[in-house]
């Protein structure tokens, strides 16, 4: 009987329900011997600031600990809960890397391309810290990550169904929120400490009144200023 090999015989769907995702993950872990990286980004829809991307590797014990804390997609839990989970991740030695796509990079390459390249950077950096080469990358969304040598499973809503991707979403969101809170001191008047660069009514009004700051995405704000 021919031995099953990762990806040759395990068909990984682009979209599935939670039960199907868990079964695919179970089979994938059996094939990959647990060496799986998850990646996600934060800040794609913001008017200002970078897009952040994080890559995470979890041991079984670390995953169990975080699930006990109600690990979820970062958008589904409160800022305090995100901070608590992130702090525990660090205390139990979870391996992660973060990368940043600058506003100028976003303007030059567009937000999708900038996000994918930023995800590739943190994935490659994390992979280089592991003792063994990861067998699979699980990425939230429907676009393959470029410039990586790891086999990958792109899954829509992976951040809501796959724990290692949920953990990546936490890292990306927490660190980006912290950065935008710090940048609010350097760029007052845009309410970055509360909106984190996203297009709230107050933020849009500030851009119209004050113009763009150095960290605004010109390609995103142009239409606001033209109205």
Domains and CATH numbers, the chain: 18-179 (3.30.420.10)
Arithmetic mean of pLDDT over the chain: 93
**Which of 123, 143, 114, 90 has its CA nearest to residue 42?**
114
Q: Which helix (H) or strand (E) holds 32?
A: helix 18-32
Beta bridge partners of 39: 55, 139
pLDDT for 18: 94
pLDDT for 6: 54
| Residue 34 main-chain phi, psi, to 5 deg | 80, -5
CA Rg, the chain, in Å?
Answer: 19
Weakest-pLDDT range from 6-10, 95-99, 134-138, 171-175: 6-10
pLDDT at 160 over 70: yes
pLDDT for 4: 41
Read off the tokens for 145: 């990550």
- Asked whether the beta carbons of 117 and 125 are under 8 A apart, the reply is no
Read off the tokens for 86: 């992130």
Weakest-pLDDT range from 45-49, 51-55, 133-137: 133-137
| Residue carrying the six token digits 């969101």 | 173
């Amino acid at each position: 009987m021919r031995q099953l090999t990762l990806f040759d015989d395990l068909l990984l769907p682009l979209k599935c329900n939670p039960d199907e995702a868990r079964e695919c993950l179970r089979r994938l872990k059996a094939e990959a011997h647990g060496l799986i990286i998850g990646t996600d980004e934060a800040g794609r829809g913001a008017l200002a600031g970078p897009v952040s991307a994080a890559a995470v590797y979890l041991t079984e014990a670390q995953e169990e600990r975080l699930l006990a804390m109600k690990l979820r997609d970062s958008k589904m839990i409160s800022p305090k809960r995100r901070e608590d989970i992130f702090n525990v991740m660090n205390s139990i030695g979870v391996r992660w890397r973060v990368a940043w796509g600058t506003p100028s990079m976003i303007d030059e390459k567009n937000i999708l391309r900038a996000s994918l390249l930023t995800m590739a950077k943190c994935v490659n950096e994390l992979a280089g810290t592991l003792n063994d080469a990861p067998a699979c990358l699980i990425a939230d969304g429907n676009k393959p990550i470029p410039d990586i040598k790891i086999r990958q499973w792109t899954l829509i809503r992976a951040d809501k169904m796959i724990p290692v991707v949920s953990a990546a979403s936490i890292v990306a969101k927490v660190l980006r929120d912290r950065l935008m809170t710090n940048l609010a001191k350097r760029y007052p008047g845009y309410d970055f400490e509360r909106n984190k660069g996203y297009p709230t009514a107050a933020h849009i009004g500030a851009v119209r009144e004050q113009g763009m700051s150095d960290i605004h995405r010109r390609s995103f704000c142009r239409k606001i200023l033209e109205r």
